[in-house]
């Protein structure tokens, strides 16, 4: 009998391990609350400026996972690959946190003047370059764009999540029709995602140095978000792989696919990073090279070297191994390495604007990172526990289960 005419009862529910996820959720909420409490102590002790700087860096890290998962989900819907279907619920639970991630951006919006030079009228009045850019770089427009980005991303996330839920709720024969609707939303969604992330990268990171610009900055951030999302998928996939029902579903070939994608995104990130540097070095214009010159002194040069090693050379060499990519535990180690490298990358991008005279690590970097991460992970685990771990009425589920 053709699969499209079978009943929904043919396929199991793939219910998530709710009890285990609930324990993780409680632990994450607790750790997050302690991290936020410790960070607020720093604020009240007079470290408000450092608190905001650390908040921006940590928020960018966790935000990139959520938005990167939205992008990967849309890529999956357009390609209908088995790699994405096996982890679609992980991607959906992550991008469904985007409204919450938007709320965590409020401290930045309320303190724009403390972080961005262009937001202080005194700085703008004495600088011709900032005056020229004031049409775009001004506080009301900055806040309006940020709200607009999150409205667009949240609508995309809601639409994809709603259609995916409907696919599970309706009879199996409706699966192909709803899959077509998912593709119809994902195609334009990818274009919108690319444009909005490119402008958000300019707003939130590049404008920390309002005199500097790079035409490849948005693409650089896109590659980093892809890396973070894939690393997160690998880590959650490993955890689920040790428990039913996914223990009976995940196969080495699935992790091999994620490893290959991770290798591709790692090379893409390096390509954008090197291209940006070479183009600016060849042009040798004062308004462009200042950003890199600043990162060659005061300890930043050593961090640049470490970043090149841990974000490209080492993971690139490790991910060339087929055996490593098929071993979920070893692949998870590489994923942790790349996640650490991603935080270092955000720190390398943002911190010199606040500490131009030398590398400086503050304890608030750790507490704010743990605080935001704990709250975000707590919500993620709750959302992951709400739906079947596989889209049981997807028309390509059987093909994905037989993959490899």
Q: pLDDT of 316-333, one tens digit each?
A: 999 999 999 999 999 999
285 C-beta neighbours (distance < 10 Å), count: 9
The confidence score (pLDDT) of residue 78 equals: 94
- The answer to whether position 6 is within a domain reads no
Q: Tokens 């200042």: give the residue.
A: 290
Quote the tokens at residue 376: 């975000």
- The answer to whether position 257 is within a domain reads yes
How far is residue 165 CA from its own chain's centroid?
23
- The answer to whether position 198 is within a domain reads yes
Q: Cis before residue 101, ω within 30 degrees of 0?
A: no
- The answer to whether position 15 is within a domain reads no
Report which of 284, 285, 304, 281 is spatially closest to residue 351, judged by C-alpha positions.
304
Report which of 334, 292, 328, 332 is spatially closest to residue 313, judged by C-alpha positions.
334
Dist CA 249 CA 251 (whole Å): 6
Domain with 221, as residue range(s), is 29-401
Number of folded domains that form the chain: 1
Give pLDDT tens digits for 130-176: 999 999 999 999 999 999 999 999 999 999 999 999 988 888 788 88
The confidence score (pLDDT) of residue 11 equals: 56
Dist CA 195 CA 189 (whole Å): 10
Residues of the chain with pLDDT under 50: 1-10
Dist CA 39 CA 26 (whole Å): 20
The H or E element that residue 228 is part of is helix 217-241
The confidence score (pLDDT) of residue 9 equals: 42
- The answer to whether position 24 is within a domain reads no
Q: Tokens 């990519």: give the residue.
A: 325
Dist CA 210 CA 111 (whole Å): 17
- The answer to whether position 247 is within a domain reads yes
The DSSP letter of residue 133 is H
- The answer to whether position 302 is within a domain reads yes
Q: Give pTM, 2 decimals.
A: 0.94
Dist CA 230 CA 234 (whole Å): 6
- The answer to whether position 2 is within a domain reads no
The confidence score (pLDDT) of residue 63 equals: 98
């Amino acid at each position: 009998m053709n699969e499209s005419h079978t009943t929904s009862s043919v396929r199991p529910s793939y219910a998530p391990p709710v009890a285990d996820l609930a324990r993780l959720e409680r632990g994450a909420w607790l750790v997050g609350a302690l991290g936020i409490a410790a960070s607020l102590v720093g604020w009240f002790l007079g470290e408000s400026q450092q608190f905001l700087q650390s908040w921006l860096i940590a928020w960018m890290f966790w935000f990139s996972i959520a938005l990167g998962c939205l992008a990967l989900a849309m890529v999956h819907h357009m390609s209908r690959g088995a790699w994405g279907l096996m982890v679609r619920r992980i991607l959906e639970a992550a991008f469904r946190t985007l409204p919450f991630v938007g709320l965590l951006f409020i401290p930045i919006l309320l303190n724009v003047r403390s972080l961005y030079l262009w937001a202080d009228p005194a700085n703008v009045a004495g600088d011709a370059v900032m005056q020229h850019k004031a049409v775009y770089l001004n506080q009301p427009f900055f806040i309006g764009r940020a709200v607009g980005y999150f409205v667009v991303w949240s609508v995309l996330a809601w639409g994809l999540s709603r259609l995916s839920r409907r696919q599970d709720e309706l009879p199996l024969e409706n699966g192909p029709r709803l899959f077509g609707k998912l593709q119809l939303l994902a195609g334009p969604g990818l274009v919108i995602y690319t444009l909005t992330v490119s402008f958000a990268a300019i707003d939130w990171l590049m404008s920390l140095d309002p005199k500097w610009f790079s035409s490849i900055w948005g693409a650089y951030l896109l590659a980093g978000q892809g890396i973070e999302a894939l690393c997160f998928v690998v880590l959650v996939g490993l955890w689920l792989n040790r428990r039913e029902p996914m223990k009976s579903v995940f196969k080495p070939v699935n992790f091999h696919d994620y490893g290959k994608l991770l290798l591709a995104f790692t090379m893409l990130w390096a390509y954008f990073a090197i291209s940006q540097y070479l183009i600016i070095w060849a042009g040798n214009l004062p308004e462009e090279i200042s950003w890199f010159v600043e990162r060659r002194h005061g300890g930043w040069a050593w961090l640049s070297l470490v970043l090149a090693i841990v974000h490209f050379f080492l993971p690139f060499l490790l991910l060339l191994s087929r055996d490593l990519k098929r071993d979920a535990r070893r692949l998870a180690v590489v994923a942790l390495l790349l996640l650490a490298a991603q935080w270092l990358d955000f720190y390398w991008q943002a911190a010199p604007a606040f500490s131009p005279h030398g590398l400086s690590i503050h304890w608030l970097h750790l507490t704010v990172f743990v605080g935001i991460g704990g709250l975000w992970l707590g919500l993620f685990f709750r959302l992951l526990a709400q739906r079947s771990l596989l889209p049981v009425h997807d028309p390509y589920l059987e093909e994905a289960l037989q993959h490899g």
